[in-house]
């Protein structure tokens, strides 16, 4: 199967139902942003994989392994979501409700292990934390595009909820990774 088909050379692409639309169509932009988010998650997971916990960091190593496994599961979820968004007649992805609940549990578990957040912080920290902050912002952009799509067409509302909670999870993961790496959070100062 060739990688290139040449069918998109004039700025058109096919949705799942074979409808031809502009590559600038809101639906295409939406699932394209989900794809971009999936790639950023891959970069963050690769950075976490490359990090070797220091001696005495066994618990941290287990938590990062769990985080890498969660990121991989999210990548699978996002491929399902992207497929759903590419199909105007897609059925709801009911398991997303359980995934949102799992995100909330994980957010609470990680938050309990960090100092209480009392101020806005600047995105940054170590490399893995910074990549997770970028994933958070891409998730927020994807959410905005999903909402715009819902204003024009009907889609699975579980997707909106999932992506909203996903950005919260990435924020928490970024803070957690930075905390375990002893990367100081920079508090935003109004100027």
Q: Is residue 13 part of a domain?
A: no
Give the per-residue pLDDT at 46.
Answer: 94
3-state class of 16 per DSSP?
coil
pLDDT tens-place string over residues 93-113: 999 999 999 999 999 999 999
What domain count does the chain have?
1
Q: Is residue 40 part of a domain?
A: yes
CATH no. for residue 62? 1.20.1200.10
**Domain of 129, in residue numbers:** 22-180
Measured over the CA atoms of residue 90, residue 91, residue 92 and residue 94, the dihedral's sign is negative
DSSP structural state of residue 54: P
Q: Is residue 93 part of a domain?
A: yes
Give the per-residue pLDDT at 57.
Answer: 59
Give the per-residue pLDDT at 118.
Answer: 87
Q: Cα separation of 174 and 185, whole Å?
A: 10
Residue ranges in the chain whose pLDDT is less than 70: 1, 7, 51-62
Give the per-residue pLDDT at 56.
Answer: 55
């Amino acid at each position: 199967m060739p990688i290139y088909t040449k069918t998109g050379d004039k700025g058109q692409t096919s949705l799942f139902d074979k409808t031809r639309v502009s590559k600038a169509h809101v639906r295409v932009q939406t699932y394209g942003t989900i794809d971009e988010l999936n790639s950023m998650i891959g970069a963050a997971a690769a950075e976490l994989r490359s990090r070797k916990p220091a001696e005495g960091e066994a618990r941290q190593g287990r938590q990062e392994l769990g985080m890498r496994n969660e990121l991989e599961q999210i990548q699978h979820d996002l491929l399902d979501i992207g497929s759903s968004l590419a199909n105007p007649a897609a059925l709801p992805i009911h398991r997303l409700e359980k995934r949102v609940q799992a995100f909330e549990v994980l957010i609470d578990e990680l938050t309990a292990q960090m100092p209480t957040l009392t101020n806005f912080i600047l995105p940054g920290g170590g490399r893995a934390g910074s990549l997770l902050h970028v994933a958070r912002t891409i998730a927020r952009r994807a959410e905005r595009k999903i909402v715009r799509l819902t204003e024009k067409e009907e889609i699975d509302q579980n997707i909106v909820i999932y992506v909203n909670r996903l950005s919260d999870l990435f924020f928490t993961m970024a803070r957690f990774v930075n905390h375990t790496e002893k990367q100081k959070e920079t508090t935003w100062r109004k100027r």
